[in-house]
Amino acid sequence: MNSRREREKLLQRQEILAVALTLFSEKGYHNVSMQEVAGKAEFAIGTLYKFFQNKEDLYRVLVLEECEKFYDAFDRALEEPGDEIEKLRKYVRTKGEIFRSNISFIRLYLAESRGANFAIKRDLSDEVRKRYFAFLERLASVFDSGIKNKRFKEISGAFKLAVALDSIVNSFLLLWLDAPELNPYPEDPDAILDIFFKGLIDP
């Protein structure tokens, strides 16, 4: 069991990351200073440097930890009981829930991962990409299982099917982000999966 001092340090770290997320998402990475984060979190600037080497380190840790939470949730959805189609339903539903309940981070991640050219982006992108591809392999394993169990036709390969489904889900989420009232994310995962599985051509 953690000591009280350890619990207090963990709480401080969580508060700093929460404040940094708010400021980075509202103002962008370049427009936020460590002093501003410290002031908003009501900590001395030295407290921040106990946890993070500099602003780049703070941002990197924030993005990686938030991404890890997302992918852990997606992995758990795919590991729940059910056949391959039910696992995909849980993934589509979970991704929508996670996305919509973490809007500040999503806006930050999209803004900073598209066209940003500060020093940490390359290393950070490499780490995020590795975790993303590990998840795609996990999603592909569901398609591979479905193919082996004769639930799915063997077209394109399991990994390409995983990429295709993830891309479709992301497109629905980006539409929702741009205009939530006009383009609500489907509550029923089959609204997305039917496009994927049934296609457009009548047999």
In this structure, the answer to whether residues 45 and 142 fall within a common structural domain is no
In this structure, the answer to whether residues 67 and 99 fall within a common structural domain is yes
What pLDDT is recorded for position 71? 92
> Tell me, what CATH number does 87's domain have?
1.10.357.10
What pLDDT is recorded for position 79? 93
In a domain, 203, yes or no: no
Task: Give how far Cα 67 sits from Cα of 62, 177, 190, Å.
Answer: 9, 18, 26
In this structure, the answer to whether residues 174 and 187 fall within a common structural domain is yes
In this structure, the answer to whether residues 47 and 105 fall within a common structural domain is no
Task: Indicate the pTM of the whole model.
Answer: 0.82
Q: Could you tell me which residues come within 8 angstroms of residue 103 by beta carbon, excluding any fewer than 6 positions away? A: 177
What pLDDT is recorded for position 203? 63
In this structure, the answer to whether residues 128 and 152 fall within a common structural domain is yes
What pLDDT is recorded for position 91? 96
In this structure, the answer to whether residues 8 and 83 fall within a common structural domain is no
In a domain, 27, yes or no: yes
Nearest alpha-carbon partner for 176 in 98, 90, 63, 114: 98
In a domain, 105, yes or no: yes
Instruction: Kindly give the confidence (pLDDT) of every residue in the chain, 203 residues in length, as a single tens digit, with 9 standing for 90 and above.
Output: 568 888 888 999 999 999 999 999 888 888 999 999 999 999 999 999 999 999 989 998 998 898 899 999 999 999 989 999 999 999 999 999 998 888 888 877 666 554 444 445 556 677 888 888 999 999 999 999 999 999 988 888 999 999 999 999 989 998 998 898 999 999 999 999 998 788 777 66
Secondary-structure breakdown of the chain: helix, strand, coil percentages, each rounded to the nearest 5: 75, 0, 25
In this structure, the answer to whether residues 41 and 139 fall within a common structural domain is no
In this structure, the answer to whether residues 86 and 168 fall within a common structural domain is yes
Find tokens 């991962």 and name the residue: 113
- Please give the distance of CA 23 from its chain centroid, rounded to a whole number: 19
What pLDDT is recorded for position 21? 92
> Tell me, what CATH number does 5's domain have?
1.10.10.60
Cβ–Cβ under 8 Å, residues 154 and 78:
no
d(CA 87, CA 74): 10
In this structure, the answer to whether residues 15 and 102 fall within a common structural domain is no
What residues make up the domain containing 77? 55-198
In this structure, the answer to whether residues 66 and 9 fall within a common structural domain is no
* Number of domains composing the chain: 2
In a domain, 62, yes or no: yes
In a domain, 161, yes or no: yes
In this structure, the answer to whether residues 13 and 75 fall within a common structural domain is no
In a domain, 26, yes or no: yes
Torsion of CA 94, 77, 91, 98, to 10 degrees: 20
In a domain, 158, yes or no: yes
The single-letter code of the amino acid at 134 is A
What pLDDT is recorded for position 122? 59
In this structure, the answer to whether residues 63 and 131 fall within a common structural domain is yes
